[in-house]
Amino acid sequence: MAAPIVIVRNVGAVARTVVRTSRALHKVDICGMYDRQAIFSQSWRLQTPATFHTASVFRSAPAITVIDEPDILYQKVEVLVKGHDKTVLDSYEFFATLAAKELGIGLGKVYEPPKHIEKLTVLKSVHIFKKHRVQYEMRTHYRCIELSRVTGSTVQVYLEYIQRNLPEGVAMEVTKTAIEKVPEHIQKPMWDDAPKEEQASQ
Protein backbone atom coordinates (compact mmCIF):
# COMPACT_ATOMS: atom_id res chain seq x y z
CA MET A 1 0.00 0.00 0.00
CA ALA A 2 1.08 3.44 0.63
CA ALA A 3 4.35 5.04 1.34
CA PRO A 4 2.69 6.75 4.30
CA ILE A 5 2.78 3.62 6.41
CA VAL A 6 6.51 3.31 6.19
CA ILE A 7 7.13 6.96 6.80
CA VAL A 8 4.86 7.09 9.79
CA ARG A 9 6.53 4.09 11.31
CA ASN A 10 9.98 5.53 10.76
CA VAL A 11 9.21 8.95 12.04
CA GLY A 12 7.25 7.60 14.97
CA ALA A 13 10.33 5.71 16.04
CA VAL A 14 12.58 8.72 15.52
CA ALA A 15 10.32 11.10 17.40
CA ARG A 16 10.52 8.92 20.46
CA THR A 17 14.17 9.86 20.75
CA VAL A 18 14.33 13.40 21.91
CA VAL A 19 15.28 16.38 19.85
CA ARG A 20 17.76 18.52 21.70
CA THR A 21 18.78 22.13 21.38
CA SER A 22 22.16 23.63 21.88
CA ARG A 23 21.76 26.19 24.61
CA ALA A 24 25.38 26.14 25.78
CA LEU A 25 26.45 27.93 22.62
CA HIS A 26 24.55 31.03 23.63
CA LYS A 27 27.45 32.02 25.85
CA VAL A 28 29.90 32.29 22.99
CA ASP A 29 29.83 35.60 21.14
CA ILE A 30 30.63 34.41 17.69
CA CYS A 31 27.80 31.94 17.92
CA GLY A 32 25.29 34.69 18.56
CA MET A 33 23.83 34.06 15.13
CA TYR A 34 22.81 30.61 16.17
CA ASP A 35 19.64 31.12 18.12
CA ARG A 36 17.35 28.24 18.86
CA GLN A 37 13.65 28.98 18.97
CA ALA A 38 11.68 28.66 22.17
CA ILE A 39 9.89 25.41 22.88
CA PHE A 40 7.30 24.85 20.20
CA SER A 41 5.05 22.04 19.18
CA GLN A 42 4.17 21.49 15.62
CA SER A 43 1.44 19.25 14.36
CA TRP A 44 3.01 17.46 11.49
CA ARG A 45 1.29 16.25 8.40
CA LEU A 46 2.28 13.97 5.61
CA GLN A 47 1.47 14.74 2.06
CA THR A 48 -0.44 11.60 1.27
CA PRO A 49 -0.92 10.63 -2.32
CA ALA A 50 -4.50 9.98 -3.33
CA THR A 51 -4.78 6.33 -2.34
CA PHE A 52 -7.80 4.49 -1.07
CA HIS A 53 -7.61 2.94 2.34
CA THR A 54 -5.26 5.44 3.97
CA ALA A 55 -7.69 6.68 6.53
CA SER A 56 -7.92 3.47 8.47
CA VAL A 57 -4.14 3.12 8.97
CA PHE A 58 -3.00 6.74 9.21
CA ARG A 59 -2.60 7.78 12.82
CA SER A 60 -2.03 11.28 14.20
CA ALA A 61 1.58 12.38 13.96
CA PRO A 62 3.60 13.03 17.15
CA ALA A 63 4.45 16.61 17.99
CA ILE A 64 8.07 17.70 17.85
CA THR A 65 9.34 18.82 21.23
CA VAL A 66 12.50 20.76 21.87
CA ILE A 67 14.42 20.06 25.04
CA ASP A 68 16.78 22.32 26.98
CA GLU A 69 19.62 19.85 27.14
CA PRO A 70 22.50 20.94 24.91
CA ASP A 71 23.01 18.98 21.71
CA ILE A 72 26.14 16.88 21.32
CA LEU A 73 28.30 18.11 18.44
CA TYR A 74 30.17 15.66 16.24
CA GLN A 75 33.27 16.75 14.39
CA LYS A 76 33.22 13.63 12.23
CA VAL A 77 31.02 10.55 11.88
CA GLU A 78 32.46 7.68 9.84
CA VAL A 79 30.10 5.02 8.57
CA LEU A 80 31.90 1.90 7.38
CA VAL A 81 29.74 -0.74 5.69
CA LYS A 82 30.97 -4.24 4.99
CA GLY A 83 29.48 -6.84 2.70
CA HIS A 84 30.23 -9.73 0.42
CA ASP A 85 28.70 -8.13 -2.67
CA LYS A 86 30.21 -4.98 -4.15
CA THR A 87 27.16 -3.98 -6.16
CA VAL A 88 24.96 -4.02 -3.08
CA LEU A 89 27.41 -1.68 -1.40
CA ASP A 90 27.40 0.57 -4.48
CA SER A 91 23.63 0.92 -4.28
CA TYR A 92 23.77 1.49 -0.54
CA GLU A 93 26.37 4.20 -0.98
CA PHE A 94 24.12 5.97 -3.50
CA PHE A 95 21.25 5.77 -1.04
CA ALA A 96 23.30 6.99 1.93
CA THR A 97 24.88 9.92 0.08
CA LEU A 98 21.55 11.05 -1.36
CA ALA A 99 19.94 10.83 2.06
CA ALA A 100 22.77 12.88 3.57
CA LYS A 101 22.37 15.55 0.89
CA GLU A 102 18.62 15.70 1.35
CA LEU A 103 18.97 16.10 5.11
CA GLY A 104 21.58 18.81 4.65
CA ILE A 105 24.51 16.91 6.14
CA GLY A 106 27.97 17.84 4.87
CA LEU A 107 29.76 14.87 3.36
CA GLY A 108 33.47 14.36 3.81
CA LYS A 109 35.26 11.60 1.92
CA VAL A 110 33.27 8.77 0.38
CA TYR A 111 35.74 6.07 -0.58
CA GLU A 112 36.24 2.36 -0.93
CA PRO A 113 38.87 0.79 1.33
CA PRO A 114 40.55 -2.24 -0.28
CA LYS A 115 38.74 -5.56 0.02
CA HIS A 116 39.88 -8.28 2.37
CA ILE A 117 40.04 -11.88 1.17
CA GLU A 118 40.21 -14.67 3.74
CA LYS A 119 41.31 -17.96 2.19
CA LEU A 120 41.29 -21.42 3.64
CA THR A 121 42.50 -24.73 2.31
CA VAL A 122 40.80 -27.98 3.33
CA LEU A 123 41.13 -31.59 2.30
CA LYS A 124 38.87 -32.52 -0.57
CA SER A 125 38.19 -36.03 0.58
CA VAL A 126 36.73 -37.35 3.80
CA HIS A 127 39.47 -39.93 4.20
CA ILE A 128 43.11 -39.86 2.97
CA PHE A 129 44.08 -38.19 -0.34
CA LYS A 130 46.24 -35.59 1.29
CA LYS A 131 47.50 -34.26 -2.00
CA HIS A 132 44.06 -33.20 -3.17
CA ARG A 133 42.65 -30.19 -1.47
CA VAL A 134 40.08 -27.52 -2.15
CA GLN A 135 40.42 -23.81 -1.42
CA TYR A 136 37.67 -21.43 -0.36
CA GLU A 137 37.79 -17.71 0.06
CA MET A 138 35.57 -15.14 1.71
CA ARG A 139 35.69 -11.66 0.23
CA THR A 140 34.69 -8.69 2.33
CA HIS A 141 34.17 -5.40 0.50
CA TYR A 142 34.10 -2.10 2.34
CA ARG A 143 32.66 1.34 1.78
CA CYS A 144 33.34 4.36 3.97
CA ILE A 145 31.15 7.45 4.16
CA GLU A 146 32.36 10.35 6.29
CA LEU A 147 30.01 13.01 7.55
CA SER A 148 31.56 16.16 8.87
CA ARG A 149 30.18 18.64 11.37
CA VAL A 150 26.82 17.22 12.39
CA THR A 151 24.74 17.72 15.51
CA GLY A 152 23.59 14.91 17.74
CA SER A 153 19.94 15.10 16.75
CA THR A 154 20.74 14.99 13.06
CA VAL A 155 23.12 12.08 13.55
CA GLN A 156 20.49 10.12 15.43
CA VAL A 157 17.93 10.71 12.70
CA TYR A 158 20.32 9.92 9.87
CA LEU A 159 21.81 6.83 11.47
CA GLU A 160 18.45 5.38 12.36
CA TYR A 161 17.23 5.93 8.80
CA ILE A 162 20.38 4.39 7.34
CA GLN A 163 20.37 1.43 9.70
CA ARG A 164 16.73 0.58 9.20
CA ASN A 165 17.38 0.34 5.47
CA LEU A 166 20.55 -1.69 5.79
CA PRO A 167 20.28 -4.60 3.34
CA GLU A 168 20.61 -8.25 4.31
CA GLY A 169 24.14 -9.46 4.66
CA VAL A 170 25.65 -6.03 5.20
CA ALA A 171 27.24 -4.95 8.48
CA MET A 172 27.96 -1.43 9.64
CA GLU A 173 30.46 0.17 11.95
CA VAL A 174 29.94 3.78 13.04
CA THR A 175 32.82 5.82 14.52
CA LYS A 176 31.66 9.05 16.14
CA THR A 177 34.03 11.82 17.19
CA ALA A 178 32.26 14.17 19.57
CA ILE A 179 33.71 17.54 20.52
CA GLU A 180 33.42 19.05 23.97
CA LYS A 181 34.46 22.08 25.90
CA VAL A 182 37.15 21.90 28.55
CA PRO A 183 35.20 21.09 31.73
CA GLU A 184 35.11 23.60 34.54
CA HIS A 185 37.22 21.57 36.92
CA ILE A 186 40.14 21.67 34.48
CA GLN A 187 40.02 25.42 33.86
CA LYS A 188 42.52 26.19 36.60
CA PRO A 189 44.45 24.17 39.16
CA MET A 190 42.65 23.54 42.43
CA TRP A 191 45.77 24.34 44.42
CA ASP A 192 45.16 28.04 43.78
CA ASP A 193 41.82 28.03 45.53
CA ALA A 194 42.92 26.03 48.53
CA PRO A 195 46.33 27.32 49.66
CA LYS A 196 45.80 26.00 53.18
CA GLU A 197 45.95 22.41 51.87
CA GLU A 198 49.27 20.65 51.79
CA GLN A 199 50.85 21.30 48.43
CA ALA A 200 53.50 18.64 48.64
CA SER A 201 52.49 15.07 49.35
CA GLN A 202 54.35 13.38 52.19
Partner 1 sequence: MSASTMCTTALSFTRTNGLCLGNYALRLLNRTATYSTALSTNNGKGFPNRGIRGPRRPKRESGAPRTEKMPENQDWTAVYPSAAPFKPSAVPLPVRMGYPVNRGVPAEKKGNLELMKIPNFLHLTPAAIQKHCDALKPFCTEWPAGLDSDAAREEHFPIQVESKEFVSAGSSLRNPKTRVVTLRVKLSSLNLDEHARKKMVKLVGDRYCEETDTLTIVTENCPLRQQNYDYAMYLLTVLYHESWKTEVWEAEKTRADMEEYHWDDSRSQKNVLDTLRRMRVTSEGEEDPGAVREELLGQPEVQEYRESVTRLKNEGETEETMLQYREAVKKLLNV
Choosing from 56, 59, 102, 120, the residue that interacts with partner 1 (CB under 8 A) is: 102
User: Interacting stretch for partner 1, rule CB under 8 A, among 107-115, 116-124, 137-145, 146-154?
Assistant: 146-154
Does position 99 interact with partner 1 (CB under 8 A)? The reply is yes
- Figure out which of the listed residues 64, 108, 110, 142 binds partner 1, where binding follows CB under 8 A: 64
Q: With contact defined as beta carbons under 8 Å apart, do 18 and 67 qualify? A: yes
Q: Which helix (H) or strand (E) holds 67?
A: strand 66-70
β-pairing, 66-70 vs 19-21, is parallel
149-188 residues in contact with partner 1 (CB under 8 A) are 149-154, 157-158, 161, 163, 165-183, 185-188
Asked if 110 touches partner 1 (CB under 8 A), the answer is no
CB 122, min distance to partner 1, A:
24
Q: How far is CA 118 from the centre of its chain?
A: 29
**Contact status: 75 vs partner 1 (CB under 8 A):** yes
Q: Which of 58, 88, 108, 110 binds partner 1 (CB under 8 A)?
A: 88
| Residues in CB range of 70: below 8 A, 6 or more apart | 20, 21, 22, 23, 24, 25
164 φ/ψ sector (left φ>0, alpha ψ -120 to 50, else beta): alpha
